[in-house]
Amino acid sequence: MLALARTKLPSARLVRGDIVAGWPSELPDRFDCIVSAYVFHHFDLSTKVDLVARLLRDHGASGCRIVVGDVCVPTKVALDDVRRTWGKQMDQEEHYWIADEAIAACERNGIQARYEQTSPFAGVFVFETGRLTV
Ligand SMILES: C[S@@+](CC[C@H](N)C(=O)[O-])C[C@H]1O[C@@H](n2cnc3c(N)ncnc32)[C@H](O)[C@@H]1O
């Protein structure tokens, strides 16, 4: 992915790191906006919420937004439908977002979340600091 990104964005600063394990030391500590595309579905819901909370708390400048585009369906019922249709072709180890459950989990942890479904199987979240409790 980094090699491909380098060909498309030769002047961008690219670093490699495990975002769940910690913040890459090569990066500045805080950002006004953090954007992620098709990464969070590797993590279960609890890890997703902990990571969003940590990024907002420890690496967001005042008013920071985290924008996450990923594989996502609006409800568990919608995911069950997708699994019935595409079951065998779907990766069983990935944790696709279920928007209503994720928003509720974020709100329980003081994170404000907005969500827009952009296609039947993908959407975009915007997370902001509410009253962070984690
Ligand atoms: C489906 S690819 C998406 C790549 C790219 N963002 C895009 O939209 O084309 C998933 C990416 O998530 C990255 N990834 C998975 N777990 C990660 C982690 N713990 N920390 C950082 N990146 C991770 C993988 O290395 C891979 O590049």
Q: How far is the CA of 83 from the centre of ligand 1 (A)?
A: 23
Whole-model pTM above 0.85? yes
Helical H runs in 14-61?
45-59
80-120 pLDDT, tens digit per residue, is 999 999 888 888 899 999 999 999 999 999 999 999 999 99
Calculate mean pLDDT across residues 119-132: 89
Of 18, 42, 47, 59, best ligand 1 pocket probe by most atoms within 8 Å of the beta carbon = 42
- Which residue type sits at 9? L
Q: What integer pLDDT is reported at residue 24 of this predicted model?
A: 95
- Between the CA of 113 and the centroid of ligand 1 the distance, in Å, is 22
Using alpha carbons only, give the angle 80, 86, 92 rounded to the nearest 5 degrees: 75
Segment 12-24, tens digit of pLDDT:
999 999 999 999 9
Any residues with CB less than 8 A from the CB of 38 and at least 6 apart, and which? 69, 70, 71
User: What are 69's two structure tokens?
Assistant: 């585009």
Question: Residues enclosing ligand 1, CB less than 6 A?
Answer: 1, 18-20, 37-39, 42
Among protein residues, the one whose CA lies closest to atom 3 of ligand 1: 38
Task: Tell me what the mean pLDDT of segment 56-77 comes to.
Answer: 96
Q: What is 30-129's CATH number, 3.40.50.150, 3.40.50.1820, 3.40.50.1980, 1.10.3210.50?
A: 3.40.50.150
- pLDDT tier, 132 (very low <50, low <70, confident <90, very high otherwise): low
